[in-house]
């Protein structure tokens, strides 16, 4: 499946404005009807990388930011491969965390909540190129 076009802005501020305009003014509805909410500060988590690989996100990533529109495209795509996310603290897969993969090795992670009436909603967690961990993700349990 062809990847969506990359977005090219000159500045980080332009990417931030794009993120807030597209993602923070209302929910994005997944292909299976889950309303995913985004917060403005999610930009800092998903568009930055750790320069020291120590979990401190201190470096703006042009590579991640160019794929800003891939987040929505991935969430809305019924061809997405869906996997359970990894709970780093508990060191196990979490069925309430969903990882979607459609384009290249780009993943979108959401955290699901189920209401008393059975309806589902989610909060966006992150999105990134999982070039180092895609085999581990694809080797994990499918999300159901």
User: The tokens 């917060």 sit on which residue?
Assistant: 39
User: Which pair of tokens denotes residue 30?
Assistant: 């997944």
Residue 74 has pLDDT above 80, yes or no: yes
DSSP 142: B
CA atoms within 13 A of residue 88's CA, in its CB half-sphere: 1
Global pTM value: 0.93
pLDDT at 88: 87
Q: Calculate the CA 121 to chain-centre distance.
A: 15
* Confidence category of residue 68, pLDDT binned at 50, 70, 90: very high
What is the DSSP code (8-state) at residue 5? P
pLDDT in tens, 30-45: 999 999 999 999 999 8
């Amino acid at each position: 499946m062809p990847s969506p076009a990359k977005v090219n802005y000159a500045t980080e501020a332009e990417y931030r404005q794009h993120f807030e305009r597209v993602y923070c003014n209302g929910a994005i509805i997944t292909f299976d009807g889950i309303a995913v909410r985004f917060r403005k500060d999610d930009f800092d988590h998903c568009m930055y990388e750790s320069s020291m690989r120590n979990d401190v996100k201190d470096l703006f990533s042009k590579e991640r930011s160019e794929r800003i529109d891939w987040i929505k495209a991935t969430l809305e795509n019924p061809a997405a491969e869906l996997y359970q996310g990894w709970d780093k603290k508990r060191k196990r897969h979490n069925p309430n965390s969903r990882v979607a993969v459609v384009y290249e090795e780009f993943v979108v992670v959401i955290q699901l909540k189920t209401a008393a009436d059975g309806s589902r909603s989610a909060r966006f967690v992150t999105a990134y190129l999982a070039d180092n961990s895609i085999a581990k993700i694809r080797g994990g349990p499918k999300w159901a």
